[in-house]
Structure 1
C-alpha cells in the first residue's frame, strides 16, 4: 500500500517545487532607468483641454510616493488620482486646468523601474492650455554664504509681487531645485516681474522654516524675460522666530531659564528690589543662583536680544526648590582656559579663564604666571578684567619662558558666590616656536578700511584668526590648507550680521580670496590682496 502511493507523492512534490517562481541569479545588475517613449498629451502640446495625462515607458514601472514628489508649476488646485498599468502611468485630474496657462509637471524620482527601482531621470512634461507656451526663464547659482560652496537640492522659487507676501505660509508660483553644482533653471514662466527666494527646504514642503533652514533672496524684483540675467544667490541662516522661554529648570541652588534660540544680549530688572547673581550659559540660557537671604519668589523683568537685533520682553517668577536635609548639594565649581591647556602659547598673548559660577573673591597676587623656576609674576602685574557676570577673566600678558608657560592657581585664590573654591590648578602651555608655523600678509583695496573683518578659516570653515585692519598679517598659522575671506562690517560691530527677509534686509557681504592657501611651516605668503573694485 505504502509503495503504491509513495512514487506519485514524490512526483507531486517535485512538480510543485518546479512551479515556484524565484528571482534569476547571476548576470549584470540593471542600472538603466526607464525611458519615456510616449505621452498623451505629447510634450509641449498647445490648447490642451483634457484632464487625463498618460505616460508610456520602455519597461515595467512602479510609482513611489507620487503625491509628494510630483511638482506641478504653477501650483494647481486640482486634485488627481493615479493608476499604474505595467509600462504606463495614468493621472486623472478632478477638473480641467486654468485657461491660457503653461503647466510643467516635474516627476522627480516618483517613477521607477520594476526590477531595480532605478528612477526615471529628468522626467518632465510641459503643455499649455492656450495657444502658446510661456517662454520666461530665470536661472543662476545658489551657494552657502559662509562657505561659498554650491548647495545641492535647494528650492528656488518665483513669487508674485505682493505687500502681503509671506514665504513661511505661501508656496512659490514657479520653482526649481539646484543640481550638484548649485545651478538652477526655472523655465516656461509667464514673462513678468517676480520676487526670487531660495531656501534649504529640508522637509520639501515648499515653505520656509526660519528655525533651521537657510534662505537667500534678491532685494529687487526679477523679470522672467528672455534677456534675464544669471542670478547668484547666497543662503544664510536667519532665525527670526520670536524669542520665548522654552523651559525652566528649578533646583535648590539655582534656577535656569532656557530660551528657544541664542542670546546676544540680556538685561535683567529685579522687580521686588531683590537681586540674584546670574550668568549666561551656552549663549542660550540664563542661570540664577540661590544666595540667601532673598524672598521665596523673585519676579524678574528681562529684555532679551538675538543676533538679528530683535528684542523681546518677558516676566518670569524665579522660585528655587526646597532644600532637603542639612547639607546643600552644590554643582561643581569648574574652570577652563582659552587657549585650552597644552595648546602652544606665544610669549605675548591674550588669555581667558572661564568659570562655571560667578566669583565673589579673587586673590590676583597669589595667581601667578610661571616663566621658569625663578621667574614668577602675579596676575596683578598684568592687564586683566571681568566680564559682566563675573565668571570670565580676560588677560593680556607677556612671558619670558623658553620652553613652557604655566599658570599657578592656588586653592582659595578664586571663591565662588556659593563659597566653594577650586582645587589647586597648574595650567601648562608649550611656548610656541614660530619656526613651526607660517605667516600670511595682504591688504584690502577699494573699501572703507574701518568697516572690514578679514578671517582665516580652515577647510571646515572654522575661524582660526580674525583681523580688522588693512594691511593685515596672520601669524603663527599651523601648517595646512586655508581659505581667506573678507566681511564688509557695515555697522562696525566686529562680527558678521545675518539678513532679515521680512524687512528685505540683506546680510553683510562676504568675499572669498579666489584660491585655497597652503600654509607651510617657517614660510611666508605675501600679497594676498582683495580688490573690491572688481567685485562690487
Structure 2
C-alpha cells in the first residue's frame, strides 16, 4: 500500500513538472486601452490639501517611465515616489502642494494595460489647492524653421515676465510637450501675461542648452485667456555662448587652435614679423603649419567671427612640438572637388578644388582640361582664383567635349606648404545631356521691392540643390525628382540666413516654403512655380 502511494506521488510530481501553462491561442488581440474609473482626488477637485494621488482603472496596468513622461504644471519641485498595485497607481509626494494653485497632471502614455501595453489615452488630472480652478489656455504649433516640419516632444513653456529671464537657469512656470504633429496645449493656467518660449530639451531637465538645442520664442508677451488665439512658433539653432579657445593641439607638423563652436571667419595677424601658413578646418579649428625657418614660438592675434556675427579677439602663442627622429610624419595631401567625381557637367561650368593643406605651388601650365585625344587646354587658359588660405581653388572653364570632360593633374603639378604633392590624378565627368534634366521657373509674389531674397531649391531630405538671389528665378539642369522651394527674407542683404537671439529679442530671418512638393520629370519645364509671401 505504501509502495503504491509513493509511486502515485512520484507520478504526480513528474507529470506536474512536465505540464506547461501557455496562453490560449487564437482570439482577437486586445487593442482597447485601460479606462480610468476613479481618481483620488476627483478630477477638478477644489481645496485639495493631500500629498497622495491615486488613479484606478478597469484592468491591470503597468507603469512605463513615469518620471520622464508625467508632466506636472506648474512645475512643482516636489519629489514623489510611485507604486503600482494591480489595477491602480498611486503617487506619494514629499511636500504639500502650493496653496491657491491649480495643478495639472498629464500622464502622457506612462500608464499602459498589462497584456498588450496599450497606453491610457488623454489621461489627465486637474485639481486646485484653492477655491477656484484656473481657466487660462495657451496653444499652438511648433515647426523647424529650416524644414517647415513639425517638431515632436519639444518643451513649450510659459515663463514669468522678467528683465533678467535666463532660460539656461530658469525653468518655465507652466509647460507642455508637443505631439507628433507639433501641436501643444497648456491649460488650466492663471489668466495673465507670460513669455512663450520653446526648447528642444533633449535631456529633459527643462533648461536650455544653447550648444545643441533649438529654440523659438515670441517677442511679445502672450495672454493666457480661455479664448486666446493659437500661437505658431519656429525653432532654430542659436548658440549664443561666449566664443572660447576650447583647446590647442600641438604637433611636430602643425598646431591646431580649436574653438568652442563653429566660426564664420578668422583674421590672423602675426605679432613678431613672422608668418606661417594656416587654414580653417572643419569650421571650428584653425590649423597652422610648421614650415622653416621660424622662431620656436610665434605670437598671433586672432579676430574671430562666430555664426551670430559676434567678433572676439584672442592672442595665442603657436609652439610646435620638438621633432624626434630624422623625418617628420605628415598627413597625406589630398583633394576633393565640387561637383564630385562622375557628376555630369555642362560645357560651361564652375569647378572647385578643396585641398586639406595650403598650396605653395601650382603648375597651371601642366594641369589640363582634356576635350578629346588631341585637345588639351592648360589651366592657365581659364579664369581661376584662390581663397585667402590657398586651400580652395575656383575655376571658370569651358569645354567642347561631346561625351566626357577630364581634368589631368600630373604628379608634381601641385605642392603643399609641407612640400608633398598629389599623385597623378585624372578626374572624369560625363557631359550633361539636356534631355535627362528639367527646369523650374517662378517668381516671388507680394515681394517687397526693397527686400532681398534667397531662393533655394532643396530635395526631399532638404539637401540644398541650387540657390538664386533674384525674382523671377530659373533653376536649370535639375535631375528628375521631388523638390521644395524655400525663400528666405534676406533683411541685411548678406546672402545668408541669419538666426535669432533671445537675449537681444531678435527673431531669425523669416523663411517661407512653397506649400506643395514639386515633382519634376526629365526633359520637362515647370513654369509659374510661384511662392506667395504674406502681406
- In the TM superposition, what is the alpha-carbon distance from 1:392 to its structure 2 partner? 1.1
* Count of residues in correspondence between the two structures: 533
Partner of 2:212: 212
Q: Is the 1:73–1:173 Cα contact (8 Å) retained in structure 2?
A: yes
Partner of 2:359: 359
1:325-357 Cα shifts (integer Å, max 9, x gaps) = 222222211122111121101111111111121
Taking the aligned partners of 2:420 and 2:71, their CA distance within structure 1 comes to: 63
Taking the aligned partners of 1:148 and 1:475, their CA distance within structure 2 comes to: 25
Q: Is the 1:450–1:469 Cα contact (8 Å) retained in structure 2?
A: no
1:502 aligned counterpart, secondary structure: coil
1:236 aligned counterpart, secondary structure: strand
Q: Is the 2:138–2:228 Cα contact (8 Å) retained in structure 1?
A: yes
Q: Is the 2:405–2:429 Cα contact (8 Å) retained in structure 1?
A: yes
1:448 aligned counterpart, secondary structure: coil
Partner of 1:466: 467
Q: 1:531 to 1:68 in 2, by over 3 A?
A: closer
1:426 aligned counterpart, secondary structure: strand
Whether 1:26 and 2:30 are equivalent positions in the alignment is no
Taking the aligned partners of 2:22 and 2:31, their CA distance within structure 1 comes to: 17
1:193-212 Cα shifts (integer Å, max 9, x gaps) = 11111122222222212122
2:435 aligned counterpart, secondary structure: helix
Taking the aligned partners of 2:378 and 2:246, their CA distance within structure 1 comes to: 44
Taking the aligned partners of 1:307 and 1:429, their CA distance within structure 2 comes to: 35
2:17 aligned counterpart, secondary structure: helix
1:264 aligned counterpart, secondary structure: strand
Whether 1:249 and 2:263 are equivalent positions in the alignment is no
Partner of 1:487: 488
Q: Is the 1:136–1:226 Cα contact (8 Å) retained in structure 2?
A: yes
Taking the aligned partners of 2:472 and 2:325, their CA distance within structure 1 comes to: 63
Taking the aligned partners of 2:29 and 2:508, their CA distance within structure 1 comes to: 49
Alignment of 1:377-526 (within 5 A): 377-445=377-445, 446-448=447-449, 451-526=452-527
- In the TM superposition, what is the alpha-carbon distance from 1:464 to its structure 2 partner? 0.2
Taking the aligned partners of 1:288 and 1:50, their CA distance within structure 2 comes to: 66
Please provide the CA RMSD for this pair.
2.2
Tell me whether 28-37 or 218-227 shows the greater mean CA deviation. 28-37
Q: Is the 1:40–1:55 Cα contact (8 Å) retained in structure 2?
A: yes
Tell me whether 192-201 or 446-455 shows the greater mean CA deviation. 446-455
Partner of 2:308: 308
- In the TM superposition, what is the alpha-carbon distance from 1:25 to its structure 2 partner? 4.4
1:380-431 Cα shifts (integer Å, max 9, x gaps) = 2221111010111111122222212122222222121112222222211111
2:126 aligned counterpart, secondary structure: strand
- In the TM superposition, what is the alpha-carbon distance from 1:523 to its structure 2 partner? 0.8
1:153-196 Cα shifts (integer Å, max 9, x gaps) = 22111111111111111111111111221111111111111111
Taking the aligned partners of 1:310 and 1:434, their CA distance within structure 2 comes to: 45
Taking the aligned partners of 2:451 and 2:377, their CA distance within structure 1 comes to: 36
Taking the aligned partners of 2:72 and 2:362, their CA distance within structure 1 comes to: 68
Q: 1:110 to 1:347 in 2, by over 3 A?
A: same
TM-score (norm 1): 0.94
2:56 aligned counterpart, secondary structure: strand
- In the TM superposition, what is the alpha-carbon distance from 1:4 to its structure 2 partner? 6.8
Taking the aligned partners of 1:54 and 1:2, their CA distance within structure 2 comes to: 56
Taking the aligned partners of 2:501 and 2:77, their CA distance within structure 1 comes to: 31
1:330 aligned counterpart, secondary structure: coil
Taking the aligned partners of 1:403 and 1:15, their CA distance within structure 2 comes to: 81
Tell me whether 196-205 or 214-223 shows the greater mean CA deviation. 196-205
Q: Unpaired segments of 5 or more residues in structure 2?
A: none
Partner of 2:63: 63
Q: 1:290 to 1:36 in 2, by over 3 A?
A: same
Alignment of 1:48-197 (within 5 A): 48-197=48-197
Q: Is the 1:64–1:111 Cα contact (8 Å) retained in structure 2?
A: yes
Taking the aligned partners of 1:9 and 1:314, their CA distance within structure 2 comes to: 88
Q: Unpaired segments of 5 or more residues in structure 1?
A: none
Taking the aligned partners of 2:94 and 2:271, their CA distance within structure 1 comes to: 62
1:26-73 Cα shifts (integer Å, max 9, x gaps) = 245444332210012211122323333221111222333433332211
- In the TM superposition, what is the alpha-carbon distance from 1:15 to its structure 2 partner? 7.1
Partner of 1:331: 331
Tell me whether 56-65 or 22-31 shows the greater mean CA deviation. 22-31
2:7 aligned counterpart, secondary structure: helix
Taking the aligned partners of 2:403 and 2:84, their CA distance within structure 1 comes to: 76
Taking the aligned partners of 2:337 and 2:93, their CA distance within structure 1 comes to: 66
TM-score (norm 2): 0.94
- In the TM superposition, what is the alpha-carbon distance from 1:151 to its structure 2 partner? 1.3
1:489-534 Cα shifts (integer Å, max 9, x gaps) = 11111111111122221111100012111111111111112232xx
